[in-house]
Structure 1
Amino acid sequence: MKEFFQLMRRFVSPYKKYVCWAVVLNILSAVFNVFSFSLLIPILNILFKTNAQEKIYQYMDWEWSVDSLKETAINNFYYYVNQLIDAFGPSTTLLFLGLFLAGMTFLKTACYFGSTAVMVPLRTGIVRDIRTMVYSKVSYLPLGFFSEERKGDIIARMSGDVAEIENSITSSLDMLLKNPILIISYFATLMIISWQLTVFTILVLPTMGWLMGKIGRKLKRQSLEAQEKWGETMSQLEETLGGLRVIKAFTAEEKMISRFNKCSNEYRDATSRVSIRQALAHPMSEFLGTVLIVFVLWFGGSLILGNNSSIDASTFIYYMVILYSIINPLKDFSKASYMIPRGLASMERVDKILKAPNPIVEKANPTHLSALNEEIRFNHISFSYNGQTQVLNDINLRIQKGETIALVGQSGSGKSTLVDLLPRFHDVQEGEILIDGINIKDVSISDLRSLIGYVNQEAILFNDSFYNNITFGVENATKEQVIEAAKIANAHEFIMESEQGYDTNIGDRGCRLSGGQRQRISIARAILKNPAILILDEATSALDTESERLVQEALERLMKTRTTIAIAHRLSTIKNADQIYVLYEGRIVESGKHEELLAKNGYYKRLNDMQAL
């Protein structure tokens, strides 16, 4: 339970007022419940014509001491009942007592409903907060985190695990607030009625609690296993949706179905074990509760039959009713002992995201940067992923404002990693990157990234309209500015040919567009942002000749007044760059203009000859 209370401290604070109201209403519900059941005693006395009805009671003044309070309360209660019987007769008194019982029950149920209803905003609010926190953390985590995590598993944590927290933990909150109040009030009542019977009951209860705990110990571990299997299932689904074209091309449908079935069966087996163990909670608690009642019935009945009891038969029946009423809160506690470990297992998986360290940290008082005035400098940059093989080794670059430089080299030579260091998608491990002499680690991250525009090899678009994709990340853009950006990117014509123009939805990841069209929308977005620094990551490598020509024209317009870093495999697209750097195994092995590099007859010349061939 320690983990549970730590979890509550993390998430319940904004909802303290709901907790306070729930406590108050639950106390009132418990009080009304106890007093409503107390009316059973005079009703039974009237029905069975016991001695308590015939005995003459005199009104006693209230003395607020522990010893006399119980005696005075019982005496005065019977006094008023006898007064009613004398005035209206037993039958009418029975009706009055019944109506009073109904009124008390109405108040009890109203308070019970109120205590449940007031907890709804708390339960739904906690779940919303957790989901929002996970989404926010995912948005801010560095790219390196996702290279080690499966997308499907992250989606499973945001969907299945958060839903499990809602079903298990937050639904137990009401029980954990209400049941202690009920149990305390019922036990207090039992102690007042007969402390001997209550002591006997308390001696029997620990054994039953130990049995329930023994059954539930393995539940958290089994729940964690089940949620991990759910994450694997979601990963399989995400991979299948992303790779349908390849699956169909290689006629691998049956293979993927077999993989999914295996994963799905493992998830089914894991959830079955959890469900069977949880299903045992109710019948076990029902049986143990009945055993408790039987023991108390035997012990109390023996006292009454032996004429050694301090209570009469009708009071003993009231005692048994209260004792039976305490069974339900205890059963709810046992139910919570099964549900909470499932939710804690899910919270453990969610915390792997929420508590994941983010190495990209902004300084407390960062420097603000609004423009590139002079140069970008990479000084002795070295970098590796997770301390493994070096991806970059002692890179030195100097890029003047307005200059276009190109990075070329084989796949895996470190080109994309190098440009990812500039907007701090990863942080340099050795060396420093300077913009106008200021270390980028000292600059506000939002200011730094607002200076940079990206056009990737794979155009990343969203399931939205042309207009919203072009204006993505740009506040207060006018329609005229959007149209102008689209025209510069050679995108205006095909946008206007669509059914709703700029309001046309382009589908998931722009699936309704060709590769060249997607890339031109991506360029239009970069044009509208109007960045000082432009990064082109193989922006034309996946296009056909005609699309490449249109995209290249748009890129040339975009590059005219900007500092540009272009990564390219097609050397024809960067031969006009001011400076070309050739990377090989994380090092710059050559640099110069296109003609200079050809004259060196080195690595760049070999790349050029292979492409010409």
Structure 2
Amino acid sequence: MIVMMFAKFVLSMAGMVFVGQEVANLSTRLRLRLIDGIMKARWGFFTSQPTGRFTAAVSTDSDRAATAFKQAGLIFAKFVEILVYFVGALFISWQFSVAAVVLCVLLWIAVSRYMRMAKRAGRGKTKYNQRLAGAVTEVLTNIKALKAMNRHGHIAAVFDTDIDKLSRALRRENDSNAAVVALQDPLLAGFLVTGIYFGYNYFGMPFEALVATIWLLRRIAAKIGEIRAGMQGMFIDSSAFWSTVALIEETEIEAEQMQKGSSMILQNEARFADVSFAYPSRDVMKDINIAIEAGKVTTIIGPSGSGKTTIADLLVGLHQPRSGQVLIDGMSLKDGDLRQWRNRIGYIPQDNILFNDTVAQNVTLGDATIDNSRIEAALKLAGAWQFVSRLPAGLDEMVGVRGNLLSGGQRQRLSIARALINDPNLLILDEATSALDHDTALEICDSVRSLAGQRTILAITHQSLWIDAADRIYEMENGSVTLAEKHSS
């Protein structure tokens, strides 16, 4: 017995080390595969998905999925141990071996209801964790405005329903665990006492055989309890596993088709030729014609919702026209090398999202092939080097969460430097200065305007300063585009 227990210890340790490595590897692989799928998915897929699905899957659901995987492995191991004990019981008494099977069945039937309860609790836990993750992300993104208007208390109340449902799922999880643990001991005690009585009085089993059999049954019952606990944990966390796997498969199905084709440089013009586009819920534009001349500043103006940003989305290939063509120097965008085309584009959005990292990392976005001389050159082109050079740590200065240690104008200049770091042919500004004061916006407009010539600039805006800076102006309204005359503001 001592030799067997030592062998069990060695094998168990080896098994646990293996299981631990595989669990860690699974969690890592799930995260990497999901992040890779997210990065490659088409843009339209993101616009239709709640943020919480991605946030929860990468943060908590991947860990819960790995836990479910671990529990499944442990269940198999415990099942093998039960078989070993059962074979041992056969050598002592076939009657008690049959009793062991009956014990397994009775314990399983007794706890099956609570297993189903655990499974339902796990599905609720996954669902409401995802919803809360998305809601919290969106609220934290806008927390400054909410606090400024003293509206954060009202928003917090919106979470109450989901938190209450999550709490109920957690209570069901706890109740199922407690019920199974409490039920197992009286069932086992009653079974053992009954077995001893019948074994001694009716089967004439000697005392030593009773002791050995009781020990084996006790071990079998203990392993059944461990299997029960493992299955309960697996049921609770398996919903996270299947939810994560489903999201991975969905993102991979929605992968953007990055076709390879001829190189596109934009030497003459980009042209929209009778382009129409519609979202599932509404039409955006119909049969529009736009020419964006290389080396010039083209400004597209229009009210909110008129489809201005969709022009940029179509130009970079994030959306595909329903009809018509987007042409780059006469070549249809769908026939060109889309990846290579995007490498020639610098994009500056209205929301200049910066990461809680250094100036250099925010400009390079982690590209280790970009050296400090290129970073400095991009900052100078963006008019940002003057303030960056005065920072205590220079390029290594931390910018804070969402760049909150910098002013609005400074943040936007870093976004421009980020767009210029790879020396793009086309620079797109999507309401890039709308959140800035007039003087700061004018400075940035002048800086960008000075980049024209070697670069083509497309400004999507409603601000008059970009109208004044434009070589060509298009006005967009009700899905149509007209060439507007330039005038002084």
2:212 maps to 1:318 = yes
2:242 is matched with which residue?
348
2:256 maps to 1:361 = yes
2:398 maps to 1:505 = yes
Range with greater deviation from structure 2 (263-272 or 468-477)? 468-477
Distance 2:103 2:350 in 1: 72
Cα shift at 1:531? 0.8
Distance 1:147 1:558 in 2: 32
Encode CA deviations 1:330-385: one digit per residue, 9 max, x unaligned. 1122122211121122223324521225545326x721526334432323322222
1:115 is matched with which residue?
15
* 8 Å Cα contact 1:190/1:198 also seen in 2: yes
Distance 1:112 1:474 in 2: 44
Range with greater deviation from structure 2 (185-194 or 199-208)? 199-208
* 8 Å Cα contact 1:286/1:331 also seen in 2: no
1:21 is matched with which residue?
none
* 8 Å Cα contact 1:162/1:347 also seen in 2: yes
* 8 Å Cα contact 1:523/1:554 also seen in 2: no
Which of 420, 423, 443 does residue 527 from structure 1 map onto? 420
2:347 is matched with which residue?
454
Which of 480, 483, 488 does residue 591 from structure 1 map onto? 483
2:290 maps to 1:397 = yes
- Counterpart of 1:131 in 2: which secondary structure? helix
Q: Which amino acid aligns with 1:371?
A: I
Encode CA deviations 1:380-414: one digit per residue, 9 max, x unaligned. 322222x1111222222333433432211111000
Q: Which amino acid aligns with 1:118?
A: F
* 8 Å Cα contact 1:380/1:432 also seen in 2: yes
Given the superposition, is the C-alpha separation of residues 366 and 240 from structure 1 closer, same or farther in structure 2, using an over 3 Å criterion? closer
1:222 is matched with which residue?
121
Distance 2:183 2:168 in 1: 23
> How does 1:421-436 map onto structure 2 within 5 Å?
421-436=314-329
1:377 is matched with which residue?
271
Given the superposition, is the C-alpha separation of residues 509 and 200 from structure 1 closer, same or farther in structure 2, using an over 3 Å criterion? closer
- Counterpart of 1:591 in 2: which secondary structure? strand
2:437 is matched with which residue?
544
Encode CA deviations 1:135-178: one digit per residue, 9 max, x unaligned. 222333333333333334532332232232234x1331342231
1:201 is matched with which residue?
100
Cα shift at 1:446? 2.4
Distance 1:294 1:114 in 2: 37
2:32 is matched with which residue?
132
Distance 1:359 1:154 in 2: 14
1:419 is matched with which residue?
312
Range with greater deviation from structure 2 (366-375 or 210-219)? 366-375
1:292 is matched with which residue?
191
Count of aligned residue pairs for this structure pair: 488
- Counterpart of 1:240 in 2: which secondary structure? helix
Which of 132, 150, 154 does residue 233 from structure 1 map onto? 132
* 8 Å Cα contact 2:302/2:462 also seen in 1: yes
1:276 is matched with which residue?
175
* 8 Å Cα contact 2:128/2:166 also seen in 1: yes
Cα shift at 1:465? 1.4
2:58 is matched with which residue?
158
Given the superposition, is the C-alpha separation of residues 139 and 279 from structure 1 closer, same or farther in structure 2, using an over 3 Å criterion? farther
Q: Which amino acid aligns with 1:517?
A: Q
Given the superposition, is the C-alpha separation of residues 139 and 174 from structure 1 closer, same or farther in structure 2, using an over 3 Å criterion? same
Distance 2:307 2:172 in 1: 48
Q: Which amino acid aligns with 1:466?
A: V
Q: Which amino acid aligns with 1:456?
A: P
Which of 147, 152, 170 does residue 47 from structure 2 map onto? 147
- Counterpart of 1:418 in 2: which secondary structure? helix
* 8 Å Cα contact 2:429/2:460 also seen in 1: yes
Q: Which amino acid aligns with 1:179?
A: K
Distance 1:280 1:593 in 2: 77
> CA RMSD of the aligned region, Å?
2.5
1:515 is matched with which residue?
408
Given the superposition, is the C-alpha separation of residues 183 and 594 from structure 1 closer, same or farther in structure 2, using an over 3 Å criterion? same
Range with greater deviation from structure 2 (111-120 or 504-513)? 111-120
> How does 1:324-339 map onto structure 2 within 5 Å?
324-339=218-233
Cα shift at 1:580? 1.8
- Counterpart of 1:426 in 2: which secondary structure? coil
Tell which has more relative contact order, 1 or 2 (C-alpha 8 A, sep 6+): 2
* 8 Å Cα contact 1:466/1:503 also seen in 2: yes
Distance 1:337 1:456 in 2: 49
Distance 1:507 1:368 in 2: 42
- Counterpart of 1:539 in 2: which secondary structure? coil
2:72 is matched with which residue?
173
Distance 1:474 1:117 in 2: 36
Given the superposition, is the C-alpha separation of residues 360 and 161 from structure 1 closer, same or farther in structure 2, using an over 3 Å criterion? closer
Give TM-score, length-normalised by structure 1: 0.74
Q: Which amino acid aligns with 2:117?
A: K
Cα shift at 1:591? 0.9
Distance 2:401 2:444 in 1: 22
Distance 2:236 2:329 in 1: 54
Q: List structure 1 segments (4+ residues) > 6 angstroms apart after TM superposition.
A: none
Given the superposition, is the C-alpha separation of residues 489 and 216 from structure 1 closer, same or farther in structure 2, using an over 3 Å criterion? same
2:150 is matched with which residue?
251
Encode CA deviations 1:101-135: one digit per residue, 9 max, x unaligned. 3x443232222222212211011111121122222
Encode CA deviations 1:279-320: one digit per residue, 9 max, x unaligned. 322222333333332333233223443xxx5xx432332222
Cα shift at 1:203? 4.1
Cα shift at 1:475? 5.4
Cα shift at 1:230? 2.4
Kindly name which structure, 1 or 2, has the bigger radius of gyration based on alpha carbons: 1
Encode CA deviations 1:194-224: one digit per residue, 9 max, x unaligned. 2233234324532432232232123322322
Given the superposition, is the C-alpha separation of residues 295 and 558 from structure 1 closer, same or farther in structure 2, using an over 3 Å criterion? farther
- Counterpart of 2:256 in 1: which secondary structure? coil
2:373 is matched with which residue?
480
- Counterpart of 2:402 in 1: which secondary structure? helix
Q: Which amino acid aligns with 1:107?
A: A
Distance 1:316 1:485 in 2: 84
- Counterpart of 2:319 in 1: which secondary structure? coil
- Counterpart of 1:575 in 2: which secondary structure? helix
Given the superposition, is the C-alpha separation of residues 179 and 234 from structure 1 closer, same or farther in structure 2, using an over 3 Å criterion? same
- Counterpart of 2:405 in 1: which secondary structure? coil
- Counterpart of 1:218 in 2: which secondary structure? helix
Distance 1:313 1:391 in 2: 87
Give the percent of matched residue pairs that are identical in Structure 1 and Structure 2: 26
Distance 1:320 1:221 in 2: 36
Distance 1:139 1:361 in 2: 9
Encode CA deviations 1:518-560: one digit per residue, 9 max, x unaligned. 1111122222221112111122222223212321221012222
Q: Which amino acid aligns with 2:269?
A: E
1:44 is matched with which residue?
none
- Counterpart of 1:280 in 2: which secondary structure? helix
Distance 1:446 1:173 in 2: 42
Which runs of 5 or more structure 2 residues have no equivalent in the other structure?
none
